[in-house]
Amino acid sequence: MKKAVRVFGIVLAVVLVGAAGLLSYVKFVLPDVGDAPQVTLTSSAAQIERGKYLAHHVNVCMDCHSTRDWSKFSGPPIPGTLGKGGDRFGPEMGFPGTFYSRNITPAGLKEWSDGEIVRAITAGVSRDGRALFPVMPHPSYGRMDLEDITSIVAYLRTLTPVESTIPASEADFPMNFIMNTIPQKPQFGKRPDSTDALALGQYLVNAATCGDCHTKQEQGQPIEGMEFAGGMEFGMPGMMIRAANITPDKETGIGNWTRESFIARFKAYDPAKGYTHAAVKAGEKQSIMPWTMYAGMTENDLGAIYTYLQTLKPVKHRVVTFELTPAAKEPMAMNK
């Protein structure tokens, strides 16, 4: 009996030492994606313009990295706050912790090399080696064309510097360990030709990370079989907003939409076509979707996205996209 207890104690000690070693490795050695790449920006007018298009209308960097005005429909960025950071992503949205977007104006990136910015965007590792939680969707950005990523960096360098103090992000246990395993070396792709609607649509859906918001998640992980079927919740004061089902299901998704109606849905919110940001009063419908930003995409790009979405597996999932709640929830991404 004593021998069995002794053997059990030895085995338990080995297991505990092994677990401690594994946790130490994950916590203090990972992430390991290599050094920041050497990047040379042309900073040409064409490169900066491409970066601006992506940052405002496809990747919508300016959505999460600016202060949004929630007194207006879809929370357009407040002028003068572009890139200042501070947007909050907390447990009320299903995230395993509380995360804040960083300042990406020259004031926040003045110590960063171009390569360090590229690594953060595409591999999820900060300048100081910390893992970035993929609310900044580096797994998707790491599959984009490197030329598109460098165009975004070139544009960020032109933003008006805005000084801001951002709280530190804090992941809950065990995500504070798990997130160190998420960063991976990027596997850059090539932007398809504008005439290949299906391939371009797939590329843009990845770049715009449509699946991140339109797939229901639990503890920051997408639920298998619910890809693009909507239902992800965004709690805001006195209301609950849910992402829509954008699979081609004919009853609960966009299976009955035409290419023209899909494009028109976005273009209805295009300030360049006369849309003015409508004020939203208490109790009126609000949307987390940055409609006015995505509305700036070209009709060719929006049409390509539609083409790709129509190839997805239809998922029957009826979503109530907006409802008032009896008690105000903790604000999401509402900066004071």
Query: Where are the alpha helices (H) located in the chain, listed in sequence order?
Result: 2-28, 45-53, 61-64, 106-109, 114-123, 138-141, 146-156, 175-178, 197-207, 210-214, 259-267, 291-294, 299-309
Reading the chain (336 residues) residue by residue, the pLDDT tens digits are 555 545 445 544 444 444 444 444 443 444 779 999 999 899 999 999 999 999 999 999 999 999 999 999 999 999 999 999 999 988 877 788 999 999 999 999 999 999 999 999 999 999 999 999 988 899 999 999 999 999 999 999 999 999 999 999 999 999 999 999 999 999 999 999 999 999 999 999 999 999 999 999 876 678 899 999 999 998 888 899 999 999 999 999 999 999 999 999 999 999 999 999 889 988 899 999 999 999 999 999 999 999 999 999 999 999 999 999 875 444 444 443
> Quick one: three-class SS letters along 182-231?
CCCCCCCECCCCCCCHHHHHHHHHHHCCHHHHHECEECCEECCCCCCCEC
Q: Name residue 171's beta-bridge partners.
A: 97
In the chain, where are the structural domains located? Answer: 45-324
Locate tokens 């207890």: which residue? 5
pTM over 0.85: yes
190-207 b/e with 16+ CB inside 10 Å = b?
Answer: ebbeeeebebbbbbbbbb
